[in-house]
Structure 1
Amino acid sequence: MAASCGVTFVDVLKALERISPFIHKTPIFTSEQANRKCGRQLFFKCENFQKSGSFKARGALNAVLKCQQVKPNVNGVVTHSSGNHGQALAWAAQRANLPCCVVVPQMAPDVKKNAIRGYGAELLECGPKPSDRNEACDKVQDDRNFELIPPYDHVDVIAGQGTIAVELLEQVPFLDAILVPISGGGMSSGICIAAKTIKPDIKIFIVAPKGKRLEECLRTGKRPWEGPPQYLDTIADGIRLQQTGYITTPILMELAEKDVFEMSDEEIIEGMKFSFERMKVH
């Protein structure tokens, strides 16, 4: 499935085999209070307990290990990130004994910058525009011959993120729908490929900050975003990117539901408070 975009379920299974010795199989949490509020039975896949603190470790590690297989003499890896992918790639490169450089916008939270340095990566700060990130990454690639591993629009990153769905459907095989938050679409597209192969009738719904315009994209089959990447004004700092990727978007068009749940900052804060206060998940 989704072979036309260069990522298949076989790629996801190979990714799972590749990364399983090094990552956590994250737990499933339930909440009777959440069930009552929604009128449905809910299951929460806690990727916040994953290595480096997010699901990003899956895709980053798969991409790094695959890169080493294909290019045994690779000099190092580089990426740009608002924080989570940068931490994940720094962790993955440390595991693989590879040099790593992460380009981070100056306004990224210090806690994320410190974590990137803590994993042994070099951190380069850049301006706030997406073009600033790309220019800094291009320079590192040219000067040091490092391999670029972007946050989402990369087949091995997508395959790594798809391993979430394989685990989830082993843990809760009777699921009829999965809701996935989105930025560039690496996790959501990977989950679409894996989940729809394992269980073709399952529905994948995307959850996004207000202003994403993804529903327009999924319904028309056309990318509504023109020009350079833009950032949304949202409290959800890890998913501020408005556009989805050139690899990820066709996968979402093919496999995700057309209805997209766009959430306001007030709704996101309410959900965070519920998670902290009632589920004790931080």
Structure 2
Amino acid sequence: MNTTGIGLQEVRAAYQRIQGWIHRTPVFTNEGLNKVSGRQLFFKAENLQKTGAFKARGACNAVFLEKEENPKSPGVVTHSSGNHGQAVAYAAKCAGLPCSVVVPKGTPKVKCDAIVNYGAELVFCEPSPAARKEVCAQIAEATGKAIIHPFDNYNVMAGQGTIALELLEEVPDLDAILVPISGGGMTSGIAVATHGLNPNCRVYAVEPFGKELQRSLENKKRMWDNPPRFLETIADAIRTQQVGDLTFPILCDYAESKVFSVTDDQMIEGMRFIFERMKLVVEAASGAAVYAAMNSLEDVTPPPRKVGVILCGGNVDLDHLPWIDRKTSY
């Protein structure tokens, strides 16, 4: 184990542990999007992953390790905006462990229903990072269940890093990878794995407007105000303003300090491109990475020409597509 708690060795071990329980997701290209962007784009379709998002990778690694290391474990508990909750519920079902998932009020029904369908207990809390952590800790204390943090957990990060193993096996000479970021677990895992496999490939985070991660990465110091809060964005999967205490040092070491900030309208534009051009259902968080790939990469030097784009999830409420909801709200 290296000083950051996660390295390529841990990512490879995670892949061996989980590969029978996850999909090896396809990598898609699209000539129309290549022409619009002026570069070759390679879309890693984690929207087609188990539970509909990349989170299944990290959840399976962490939950399976909990079962291996504690055969008499009373179960697991987590807090989530939805995707991680679904993934932990799925992993716990595979491992035969009881599971509780804390979600903020207002979490999309499609995600809540999926959590329950995997057999987990669903617990609602107030919509704040502090409430999520507090209720999760209360359940852990009362039941003895192990907390599977959605991003500040090295085993979760190692599982998410397996995305890069697959992507770089198919396209080993990528110049850059764009990753939607919330707490930083996926970005950290991908950055560590990418550094080990292709140090010349740059990993860029794509954030919702208002997160202001770049300022902290440039200063290598957490520059956010406390307490932590959720951002006002349609992308419920990346609402967390601050990255984690464990993920931040990894991002400083292995990710680029340049961060692309994307507005809600720009996310919608990216979503629609993928819906219309590639016929894939993706979340707003995925739309953020798509928009940045199409419009923002000339801002960096040298501009990358072969770019991986992580389509992180596809758990969309089809009754509330954002471009329809925004029209009817006027």
Q: TM-score, normalised by structure 2?
A: 0.84
What's the counterpart of residue 309 of structure 2?
A: none
What's the counterpart of residue 116 of structure 2?
A: 117
What's the counterpart of residue 6 of structure 2?
A: 7
Structure 1 residues 240-279: aligned runs within 5 Å: 240-279=239-278
| 1:184 corresponds to 2:179 | no
Measure, in 2, the Cα distance between the counterparts of 1:155 and 1:86. 17
**What RMSD, in angstroms, separates the aligned Cα atoms of the two structures?**
0.9
Measure, in 2, the Cα distance between the counterparts of 1:3 and 1:235. 37
Deviation digits for residues 194-232 of structure 1 (CA, Å, limit 9, x no counterpart): 011001111111111101111101111110113222111
- Which amino acid in structure 2 is aligned with residue 103 of structure 1? V
| 1:131 corresponds to 2:130 | yes
Q: Which runs of 5+ in 2 are unaligned?
A: 282-330
Structure showing greater relative contact order (alpha-carbon pairs closer than 8 Å, 6 or more residues apart): 2
| 1:79 corresponds to 2:54 | no
| 1:18 corresponds to 2:9 | no
What's the counterpart of residue 318 of structure 2?
A: none
| 1:195 corresponds to 2:194 | yes
Measure, in 1, the Cα distance between the counterparts of 2:268 and 2:3. 38
1:154 CA displacement:
0.1
Identity percentage of aligned residues: 53
Measure, in 1, the Cα distance between the counterparts of 2:205 and 2:137. 31
- Which amino acid in structure 1 is aligned with residue 173 of structure 2? F
What's the counterpart of residue 210 of structure 1?
A: 209
Measure, in 2, the Cα distance between the counterparts of 1:234 and 1:251. 25
Measure, in 1, the Cα distance between the counterparts of 2:165 and 2:278. 24
1:62 CA displacement:
0.2
Q: TM-score, normalised by structure 1?
A: 0.98
What's the counterpart of residue 57 of structure 1?
A: 56
- Which amino acid in structure 2 is aligned with residue 74 of structure 1? S
What's the counterpart of residue 159 of structure 2?
A: 160
Q: What secondary structure sits across from 2:151 in the alignment?
A: coil
- Which amino acid in structure 2 is aligned with residue 168 of structure 1? L
Q: What secondary structure sits across from 2:3 in the alignment?
A: helix
Runs of 4+ in 1 over 3 A off after TM superposition: none
- Which amino acid in structure 1 is aligned with residue 40 of structure 2? Q
Structure 1 residues 38-49: aligned runs within 5 Å: 38-49=37-48
1:52 CA displacement:
0.4
Q: Which runs of 5+ in 1 are unaligned?
A: none
Measure, in 2, the Cα distance between the counterparts of 1:115 and 1:97. 17
Q: What secondary structure sits across from 1:278 in the alignment?
A: helix
Measure, in 1, the Cα distance between the counterparts of 2:135 and 2:206. 31
What's the counterpart of residue 324 of structure 2?
A: none
Measure, in 1, the Cα distance between the counterparts of 2:134 and 2:192. 32
- Which amino acid in structure 1 is aligned with residue 247 of structure 2? T
- Of residues 63-72 and 39-48 in structure 1, the stretch that sits farther from structure 2 once superposed is 63-72
Q: How many correspondences in the alignment?
A: 281
1:127 CA displacement:
1.0
